Structure 1
Amino acid sequence: MNTSRPAIGAVVLTMNNRPGEFPVAMSSLLAQEGVDLDVVVVGNGCEPELVPDGVKTVALPVNVGIPEGRNIGAAGVGGDLIFFFDDDAVLPSPGVLRRLADQFALDSRRAFVQPRIADPRTGRTLRRWVPRLRASDPARAGTVTVMAEGVVMVRREAFEAVGGWPGHFFLFHEGVDLAWRLWDRGFTGHYAGDVVVNHPATDPARHAAFYRLNARNRVWLALRNLPAPLVPVNLAVWALVTLWRFRDPAVLRTSLAGFVEGVKGGYGTRAPMSWSTAARLTRAGRPPFC
């Protein structure tokens, strides 16, 4: 076991809308042992409140979205590893960050490590929190090709090499974009199923713009990252899944509007992954068209 103290920069975003959860999250973060921790709280469109003494803050005058807010936070902390932490999550024991950090020492190619996320009341791990197609056993560890963005640790060198989160996504699918770009640089991801972090089982559709941004960003994801022949395959699979999951005409109309918005542009620089990366992702268990 590595006996040195990993240097970790922790980034927490807040909108001052969780006065009960935020102090608990921060207390659990600052209680971590065996690591050198540098923490920043980014107020996304606000001046952060209820911030513990000694913690750095950044106040953004407008809400720039989650991925860009995290990029700004990452630039404001030190550490060879960066831990992105939702302001309503809780680290249930003081050794969580050290256990996650130790995973990087096992493989120099690991760019990100995600713990198992579980609802604090039920202990349940939602399907969307398990970063692989086969999710029947959420405690099973292994190599993964995507991540749950709200609670994840990333190797800084790799994060900076690919330019960080896609800030213009604002919300949704930024973790897939980052993971694909990391894999295209020769890195991998790891799911630490035996390391648990608590997070309430909230519904992403609670966001008013969920269906539009979900559809738009799926298009952007494909157009930014996939070889041209895989783009229509990826989008066709997404469209079929959307039709199967959602039967509400209003939801389908909003999703279609987001799809059209994505096709019109705004996705940023196109940098398609290599075919060898697509093959590596497929061998790892998740082809980049599903």
Structure 2
Amino acid sequence: MTDLTETPTPAVSVLIVAWQSGDHLARCLDALDRQSWRDFEAIVVDNASSDGAVERLVPRPWLRVDRADRNLGFAVANNRAAAQARGRYLVTLNPDAFAEPGWLAALVAAAERHPQAGSVGSVQLLDADPTAFDGVGDPLHAVGAAWRGGRLRPAHPVSESEVFGVCAAAALYRREAFEAVGGFCERFFCFYEDVDLGMRLRLAGWTAIVTPDAVVRHVGSASAPSSFVLRYATRNRVWAFLRGMPGPVLVAGVLPAALILAAGALADTVTGRGIARWCALREALAGLTQTLAERRAIQDTRRVTPWEFARALTWSPFTYLRRGIDLRPLADLPTRLEEPPENTPRVVAVVVSYQPDEALDRVLDAGLAQADRVVLVENGSAPDIQERLATRAADSGGRLTLIANPSNVGLATAQNQGLAAALADGADWILLQDDDSVPGDSMVATMIETWRGLPDRRRVGLLTPRLTDPEGTLRARLLTARGRFDLARTPLLPGTIARNGLFAIASGSLIRARVLEVVGRMDDRFFIDYVDVEFSLRLRRAGFEIVGVGDATLHHRLGEVKTARLLGRTKTLSTHEAWRRRTIHRNRVRVWRRHGTVSLGWLAFDVTAALYDVWKAIAYENDKAAKLKAIVRGFLEGWRD
């Protein structure tokens, strides 16, 4: 559609292979047109479609269309597009994958952070239900089976991590790596061609990563019948396994791989799909001579040891059976992020309010005094409250921004709204606050000054102040751990700095803004409770440190406080109603399952805390039956998730 031979060379070439794509193709290109990263071209190779989708496309200055005279298949058509591409990054995109506006920018940023990565994958969500994953990376099991990690499971934030390979439905490939290994294997036609490419990139010494801000919504198999998928996926799985597995790994996996394929074929015979499966296996064996010749050429140029290759594989049978996600932390991730400026960093405070009392004005006053801008996310409070806050925002000279939600969307979602606004405003640091969290004098400046003085400050992702409350129930301590097994309740006193924090309460947390690009945002599904715990453990898993600053204070109230007597003893308790008990225990189980191995010491501590909460409801509180029922429901929901 456009001759780009006279235009400057773009950084990115987006390669789209279309065949009977219908309205998906135009929607895919519309999403590309909304990208914040503009230095790209797009090449659509149409595989002799007859549905008129290409003819209906709107001309765009960055778009070229190449019409093939027959259906070349995904592998050949992508190689054909890559041969015409001019960018240093080749980005494959299915026509039924619809990119969020920051997708290309996130892929490029990740590629430049990790020059050893030959490919960068996306977080793929189901287009029909974006609360579920379509896939996060392509794990490859030692038996040769690959899958989209976590497909159909509830979506949640992930950190920038290493994966075995990436799904070519929405992936970036470094051009030098792609060309060095020969691109996609054209014998594969479609399916497993990205797995095979990922294996060859691994053998050549490249790694693969996924990055959280590269998000697409994917329809998936929109134009391929199931028998078609079964044939090519089965045949190509065998070819990829035989071509790519180093000798010792092949020997270890060949027998279980053959048994699994035979069992699948027998099961398909019972269900009436056996013909396609058996034909695929026969076709795979018919090409065995050529496959083994290709294997020799691939293995002769291998640059990694069999052990290094094997370490990148998935070995757990449970992950395989569950089609789970297999993400590996990047040990040097903190060192690859740009530091905030030392002088005059931009600080944006994010305050979430719901039916606030007069304390909110003190919170906003302190935020405006210590931050460059305050974003107030109002979570569906009474109309008179929202009107008053709108008036205050209008009178702030642009320093107070109000996001007024018509209903309560939950703490996590509201925080994410505020984080998005802060990032768009160019924040270097983001301060999180509740509507009853009143920063002490110079709290923000004290935490930033403490950060400046740390010799290893690049590792620091979050700073937290010393908490105080009017009732005196909050003890100035920070849970810390140097390894996976230890746990300490480190006193956070004036003049002290607590290192190796496990988690920080959200109120008063000062987050390095760039960290959010690689660890993701808050988990919307949590609504409230354990949002900060989950984020903190994800931060730690990614290699960042939480630091407590004793000279910085935050006046905060944690839940409802009551006194109770048992056996003549009076006890001051922090307590919650039944519905909160349900969310607390549901979310804590989610965190156990997701991050429990980050700190086994913390896991034991939190399991003990859960048991104590049950005892507290029995021994000290009213509405015992309702609260115990809520706790049980929460536990069950967390385990079923």
Structure-1-length-normalised TM-score: 0.85
CA 251–139 in structure 1, closer or farther in 2 if over 3 Å, else same: farther
User: What residue number does 2:308 align with?
Assistant: 280
CA 139–194 in structure 1, closer or farther in 2 if over 3 Å, else same: farther
Measured on the aligned residues, the alpha-carbon RMSD in Å equals: 2.9
The answer to whether 1:259 aligns with 2:281 is yes
User: What residue number does 2:118 align with?
Assistant: 111
Q: Equivalents in 1 of 2:266, 2:31: separation in Å?
A: 38
Q: Is the 8 A contact 1:7 1:35 kept in 2?
A: no
Q: Spell out the pairing of 1:27-46 with structure 2 (5 A cutoff).
A: 27-46=30-49
CA 75–201 in structure 1, closer or farther in 2 if over 3 Å, else same: closer
2:11 to 7, 10, 14: 7
2:203 to 184, 192, 198: 184
Does 227-236 or 42-51 show the bigger shift? 227-236
1:99-133 CA-partner distances (Å, limit 9, x unpaired): 1100011121111001110013311113x554237
Q: Spell out the pairing of 1:189-228 with structure 2 (5 A cutoff).
A: 189-202=208-221, 206-228=225-247
User: What residue number does 2:64 align with?
Assistant: 56
Q: Equivalents in 1 of 2:34, 2:24: separation in Å?
A: 16
Q: Secondary structure at the match of 2:22?
A: coil
Q: Which has the larger radius of gyration?
A: 2
1:26-77 CA-partner distances (Å, limit 9, x unpaired): 0111222234111111011248323331321111111111011111011112
Q: Structure 1 residue 195: deviation in Å?
A: 2.7
Q: Secondary structure at the match of 1:148?
A: coil
AA partner of residue 269 (structure 1): E
Q: Equivalents in 2 of 1:89, 1:14: separation in Å?
A: 12
Q: Equivalents in 2 of 1:255, 1:245: separation in Å?
A: 6
Q: Secondary structure at the match of 1:132?
A: coil
The answer to whether 1:156 aligns with 2:175 is yes
Q: Equivalents in 2 of 1:199, 1:177: separation in Å?
A: 21
Q: Spell out the pairing of 1:165-184 with structure 2 (5 A cutoff).
A: 165-184=184-203
Q: Is the 8 A contact 1:130 1:138 kept in 2?
A: no
2:87 to 69, 74, 79: 79
Q: Is the 8 A contact 1:115 1:196 kept in 2?
A: yes
For structure 1, the 5+ residue unaligned runs are: none
Q: Equivalents in 1 of 2:193, 2:253: separation in Å?
A: 16
Q: Secondary structure at the match of 2:267?
A: coil
User: What residue number does 1:22 align with?
Assistant: 25
Q: Is the 8 A contact 1:139 1:194 kept in 2?
A: no
AA partner of residue 25 (structure 1): C
Q: Equivalents in 1 of 2:305, 2:195: separation in Å?
A: 14
Q: Is the 8 A contact 1:222 1:234 kept in 2?
A: no
Q: Is the 8 A contact 2:268 2:277 kept in 1?
A: no
Q: Structure 1 residue 201: deviation in Å?
A: 4.8
User: What residue number does 2:162 align with?
Assistant: 143
Q: Structure 1 residue 167: deviation in Å?
A: 1.3
Q: Is the 8 A contact 2:14 2:91 kept in 1?
A: yes
Q: Equivalents in 1 of 2:202, 2:67: separation in Å?
A: 33
Does 237-246 or 29-38 show the bigger shift? 237-246
Q: Equivalents in 2 of 1:215, 1:233: separation in Å?
A: 20
Q: Is the 8 A contact 1:67 1:165 kept in 2?
A: yes
Q: Equivalents in 2 of 1:257, 1:245: separation in Å?
A: 10
AA partner of residue 65 (structure 1): G
Q: Is the 8 A contact 2:137 2:164 kept in 1?
A: no
Q: Is the 8 A contact 1:111 1:158 kept in 2?
A: yes
AA partner of residue 262 (structure 1): A
Q: Is the 8 A contact 2:96 2:222 kept in 1?
A: no
Q: Is the 8 A contact 1:215 1:256 kept in 2?
A: no
Q: Secondary structure at the match of 2:299?
A: coil
Q: Structure 1 residue 261: deviation in Å?
A: 1.5
Q: Structure 1 residue 174: deviation in Å?
A: 0.7
Q: Equivalents in 2 of 1:207, 1:201: separation in Å?
A: 12
Q: Secondary structure at the match of 2:95?
A: coil
AA partner of residue 10 (structure 1): V
For structure 2, the 5+ residue unaligned runs are: 1-8, 141-148, 321-641
Q: Is the 8 A contact 1:84 1:151 kept in 2?
A: yes
Identity %: 24
Q: Equivalents in 2 of 1:187, 1:203: separation in Å?
A: 31
CA 225–21 in structure 1, closer or farther in 2 if over 3 Å, else same: same
Q: Structure 1 residue 172: deviation in Å?
A: 1.0
Q: Structure 1 residue 182: deviation in Å?
A: 0.8
Structure-2-length-normalised TM-score: 0.41
Q: Is the 8 A contact 1:116 1:139 kept in 2?
A: no
The answer to whether 1:248 aligns with 2:268 is yes
Q: Is the 8 A contact 1:6 1:101 kept in 2?
A: no
AA partner of residue 18 (structure 2): T
